[in-house]
Structure formats: C-alpha cells, structure tokens
Amino acid sequence: MSTSIRVSERTKEKLDRLKRDSESFDELLDRLVTDEQPIDIGAWDSETAERAREAIDRSRESFDR
C-alpha cells in the first residue's frame, strides 16, 4: 500500500541530498527515523584517552619523518 506525504520543495531538496544513490525514499525515511544506539561520548577513562592521544601523536610523528 502506498501513501503520499506532502513536503515543501525545500524539504524535498534536503531529502534528495541525504538520499543514497541506490536508496528509495521509503528506505531513506526509514533510515532517518530508525532508533540507533547513541555514541557514548566520554566513554573512555582518563588513562585510556591519554593512551589514545599518545598513539595519535606517535602516528603523526611517523608521517613527519
């Protein structure tokens, strides 16, 4: 069963930009409204975060050589 939803031209343009090439508008809307697990901001403790920063610094230094 098909249902029509009226949207403004501006909203349609925004949806067009978000839509993937192989995706239908139904799939786009489903993707946009599907609940996803939130990213846990600040999930690392201080020690883990510091080790990650150090690893990034070492990686950047290796590219400077």
Helices (H), the chain: 9-18, 25-33, 46-64
Residues 16 and 30 sit within 8 Å (Cβ to Cβ): no
What residues does each domain of the chain span? 7-34
- Looking at residue 34, its pLDDT comes to 87
- Looking at residue 65, its pLDDT comes to 62
User: In the chain, what percentage of residues exceed pLDDT 90?
Assistant: 52
> Two tokens at 49?
């975060």
Higher per-residue confidence, 58 vs 35 = 58
- Looking at residue 21, its pLDDT comes to 94
Q: What is the pLDDT of residues 16-44, one digit of tens each?
A: 999 999 999 999 999 999 877 766 677 78
Higher per-residue confidence, 65 vs 56 = 56
Helices 9-18 and 25-33: crossing angle in degrees, nearest 10, is 80
